[in-house]
């Protein structure tokens, strides 16, 4: 079967790899000049099964009210005259009650664990190198109430196979000695030894190269303009400039832009862009910079050491498709970094970046068939696209090829009913 994959971010490249490995002929189309040049470019770098709790949870509402109107807040809603934003916001609220948050956490965790295992396999079989570090992920807390909430989350995650272990403040400093100089006292943390980190862009580039050796054709610099529908099937992809491309099946992996392509077909994906920022600091071999990948849950930022660089990333801003850098928000993540690691506060070599997470209201991705016969989606990975990309790529390939998937696909398709 000839499968056309739209989008060469982490999710599109992983889908293409797994489809080609299953024997399909694959063409990937992307508007950029290479793979992973949009949201997958400079993310937080974490393969973080321990981060499975979605933003939509019972705690978030009080936090949003507390942060309302603060330009530097970890979560910022910029209310717009945009029906898609309001509809998504209402769905987000419906995902916040404890039972929904628990259900979504478990669905994300299952996929994340599956994906992490596949990533480890792929890395060793293909010999991929992408500044990866297998030192675990430590979530640290500077607020007692946040720490207590994390303890209940860690209990739930251990029940479902993620070995997220609660640690005292002293144990946190032993795991990551660079935390010892923090200006804000650490009250405790949780540690997940099997979680890891690495540069998502480097990974995607290498996986794309390996996919090309399996025969995958990458067509870069091609803007997808529309899907052409004939009766209950997609007949082709129309590119900007008028050319068309035809296949037997089509996979939409356009990240935050997926709903825009599908809306004219009457498919309404509950995906909205959640803008996040990163700052990449050239820290060389500074011992004052952390080596273990860290999550500062209270501030919604993560830290990953990528060779001689420290990537700090996070926060969310619901502001439509604007990717402009906001000075206040850039400064806020760097200020927090220097409060936690004062020993690197002299670092001036900093690269800022912003990307649009393709977020579903409950952060559960959408993987599988749509009600148009040969049209599939693989999108909505939100905060955890790097963590879940290998798993959702394999799941998608199994569903396209009508093979029994290795994970129960229903939680990722149940939301598909919203596509009608
Ligand atoms: C600040 C930040 C930090 C993050 N940290 C982490 C982390 O630590 N761990 C983690 O697991 N996840 C993290 N994420 C999330 C992760 O980066 C995303 O979920 C993931 O990159 C989404 O990948 P994607 O392939 O779906 O989308 P994208 O990478 O955006 O890929 C979509 C592709 O579609 C192409 N495209 C779009 N429209 C068109 C069109 N019309 N025609 C042609 N091509 C088109 C784009 O060029 C792009 O290449 C973070 C995200 C952000 C923003």
Ligand 1 in reach of 274 Cβ (< 6 A): no
pLDDT at 35: 98
Residue 325 pLDDT level (bands cut at 50, 70, 90): very high
Question: Which protein residue has the closest C-alpha to ligand 1 atom 35?
Answer: 7
Among protein residues, the one with the nearest Cα to ligand 1's atom 18 is 385
Q: What average pLDDT score do residues 340-354 get?
A: 96
Closest C-alpha to ligand 1, atom 14: 383
Q: With 90 as the cut, is the pLDDT of residue 418 above it?
A: no
Q: What percent of the chain has pLDDT over 70?
A: 98
Q: What is the mean pLDDT of the chain?
A: 95
Supply the pLDDT for residue 65.
80
- The pLDDT value recorded for residue 415 is 47
Q: What is the pLDDT of residues 26-54, one digit of tens each?
A: 999 999 999 999 999 999 999 999 999 99
Which atom of ligand 1 lies closest to the CA of 261? 41
User: What ligand 1 atom has the least distance to the C-alpha of 260?
Assistant: 41
**Residue 273, ligand 1, Cβ within 6 A:** no
Evaluate: CB of 372 within 6 angstroms of ligand 1. Answer: no
Residue 420 has pLDDT above 50, yes or no: no
pLDDT tier at 419 (50, 70, 90 boundaries)? low
SS3 per residue for the chain: CEEEEECCCHHHHHHHHHHHHCCCEEEEECCCCCCCCCCCCCCCCEECHHHCCCCCCCCHHHHHHHHCCCCCCCEEECCCCCHHHHHHHHHHHHCCCHHHHHHHHHHHHHHHHHHHHHHHHHHHHHCCCCCCECCCEEEEECCHHHHHHHHHHHHHHHHCCCCEEEEEHHHHHHHCHHHHHCCCCCCEEEEECCCEECCHHHHHHHHHHHHHHCCCEEECCCCEEEEEEECCEEEEEEECCCCEECCCEEEECCHHHHHHHHHHHCCCCCCEEEEEEEEEEECCCCCCCCCCEEEEHHHCEEEEEECCEEEEEEEEEEECECCCCCHHHHHHHHHHHHHHCHHHCCCCCEEEEEEEEEECCCCCCEEEECCCCCEEEEECEHHHHHHHHHHHHHHHHHHHCCCCCCCCCHHHHHHHHHHC
Verify whether ligand 1 is closer than 6 Å to residue 384 (CB atom). Answer: yes
237 lines ligand 1 (CB under 6 A): no
357 pLDDT exceeds 80?
yes
12 lines ligand 1 (CB under 6 A): yes
For 239-284, how does the pLDDT look when each residue is reduced to its tens digit (9 = 90+)?
Answer: 999 999 999 999 999 999 999 999 999 999 999 999 999 999 999 9
Residue nearest to atom 2 of ligand 1 (CA): 43
Best probe residue, ligand 1, of 13, 306, 383 (max atoms within 8 Å of C-beta): 383
pLDDT value at residue 79: 82
Q: Residue 277: CB within 6 Å of ligand 1?
A: yes
* 193-202 mean pLDDT: 98
Percent of the chain with pLDDT over 90: 91
């Amino acid at each position: 079967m000839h499968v056309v994959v739209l989008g060469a971010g982490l999710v599109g490249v992983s889908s293409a790899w797994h489809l080609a490995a299953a024997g399909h002929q694959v063409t990937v189309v992307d508007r950029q000049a290479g793979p992973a040049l949009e949201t997958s470019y400079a993310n937080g770098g974490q393969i973080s099964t321990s981060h499975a709790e979605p933003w939509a949870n019972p705690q978030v509402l009080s936090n949003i009210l507390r942060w309302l109107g603060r330009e530097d807040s970890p979560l910022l809603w910029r209310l717009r005259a945009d029906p898609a934003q309001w509809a998504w916001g209402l769905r987000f609220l419906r995902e916040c009650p404890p039972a929904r948050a628990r259900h979504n956490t478990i669905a994300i965790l299952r996929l994340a664990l599956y994906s992490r295992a596949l990533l480890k396999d792929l890395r060793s079989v293909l010999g991929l190198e992408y500044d990866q570090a297998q030192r675990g992920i430590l979530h640290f807390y500077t607020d007692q109430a946040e720490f207590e909430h994390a303890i209940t989350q860690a209990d739930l995650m251990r029940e479902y196979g993620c070995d997220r272990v609660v640690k005292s403040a002293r144990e946190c400093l032993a795991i990551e000695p660079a935390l010892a100089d923090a200006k804000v006292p650490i009250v405790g943390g949780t540690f997940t030894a099997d979680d890891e980190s690495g540069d998502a862009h480097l990974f995607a580039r290498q996986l794309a190269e390996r996919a090309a050796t399996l025969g995958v054709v990458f067509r870069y610099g091609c803007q997808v303009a529309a899907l052409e529908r004939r009766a209950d099937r997609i007949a082709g992809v129309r590119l900007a400039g008028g050319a068309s491309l035809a296949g037997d099946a089509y996979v939409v992996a356009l990240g935050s832009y997926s709903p825009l392509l599908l809306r004219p077909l009457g498919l309404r994906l509950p995906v909205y862009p959640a803008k996040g920022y990163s700052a990449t600091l050239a820290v060389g071999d500074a011992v004052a910079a952390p080596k273990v990948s860290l999550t500062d849950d209270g501030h919604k930022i993560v830290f990953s050491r990528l060779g001689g660089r420290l990537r700090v990333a996070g926060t969310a801003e619901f502001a439509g498709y604007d990717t402009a850098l906001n000075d206040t928000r850039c400064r806020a993540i760097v200020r927090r970094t220097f409060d936690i690691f004062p020993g690197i506060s002299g670092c001036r070599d900093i690269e800022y970046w912003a990307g649009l997470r393709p977020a579903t209201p409950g952060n559960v991705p959408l993987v599988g068939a749509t009600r148009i016969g040969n049209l599939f989606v693989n999108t909505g990975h939100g905060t955890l696209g790097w963590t879940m990309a290998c798993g959702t790529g394999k799941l998608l390939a199994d569903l396209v090829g009508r093979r029994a998937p290795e994970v129960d696909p229903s939680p990722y398709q149940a939301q598909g009913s919203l596509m009608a």
